[in-house]
């Protein structure tokens, strides 16, 4: 009879630890997001934390998975609330850029930076980011109604994702919102024009 409540508490504790880890990564950076800091902020003992995550790498990897799922859930929900007709492409690109300017991206960026010089961490991070990239590409294709079988269209969609990531990086140090809006508007017009031309039947 007491087992289920204990399991529930364990799931809540684990979820809370991961949420705090993401917050710490975004706010404090990789170096300061230690097991001790996360445990203290989460209000749990170091021993209780290590019951769920024996090492820092286990904690960070699990946090990355949570970030990945959250980013994808957000994208799926928002893809159903996009305007039709004129303005749709710009709205889609704006949403993509938002994924790369929020807390989840800033937290993930801290891990990427650390992984660049840590082979073991990189081996954990790469599969997650490759999976995110594939799904983000597929969702962008679906939202745009594009023919991804066409090589040019495929590259354009990938360029759109790369553009969104670059704009996200530019936003890390300064508020780049005004220039970002202009870039999004310009690229959306170019993408609209090119996708129509690529999709048009050959005469």
User: Tell me, what CATH number does 167's domain have?
Assistant: 1.10.357.10
Question: Residue 58: which H helix or E strand, with range?
Answer: helix 56-79
* Per-residue model confidence as pLDDT tens digits over 60-76: 888 888 877 776 776 66
Range of the domain at 115: 3-199
* Per-residue model confidence as pLDDT tens digits over 27-38: 888 889 999 999
How many CB atoms are closer than 10 A to CB 56? 14
The number of distinct structural domains making up the chain is 1
3-state secondary structure of 3: helix
Q: Match 């073991």 to its residue by tokens.
A: 120
pTM of structure: 0.73
Model pLDDT, residue 129: 83
Q: Give the pair of three-digit tokens for residue 69.
A: 């799922």
């Amino acid at each position: 009879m007491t087992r289920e409540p204990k399991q529930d508490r364990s799931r809540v504790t684990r979820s809370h630890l991961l949420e705090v880890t993401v917050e710490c990564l975004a706010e404090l950076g990789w170096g300061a997001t230690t097991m001790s800091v996360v445990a203290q902020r989460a209000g749990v003992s170091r021993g209780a934390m290590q019951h769920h995550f024996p090492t820092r790498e286990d904690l960070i990897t699990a946090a990355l998975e949570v970030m990945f799922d959250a980013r994808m859930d957000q994208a799926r929900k928002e893809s159903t609330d996009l305007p039709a007709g004129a303005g749709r492409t710009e709205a889609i690109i704006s949403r993509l850029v938002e994924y790369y300017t929020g807390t989840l991206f800033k937290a993930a960026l801290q891990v990427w930076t650390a992984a660049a010089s840590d082979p073991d961490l990189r081996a954990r991070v790469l599969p997650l980011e490759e999976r995110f990239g594939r799904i983000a590409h597929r969702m962008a294709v679906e939202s745009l109604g594009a023919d991804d079988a066409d090589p040019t269209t495929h590259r354009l969609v990938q360029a759109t994702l790369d553009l969104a990531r670059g704009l996200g990086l530019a936003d890390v140090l300064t508020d780049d919102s005004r220039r970002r809006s202009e870039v999004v508007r310009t690229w959306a017009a170019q993408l609209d024009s090119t996708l129509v031309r690529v999709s048009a039947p050959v005469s």
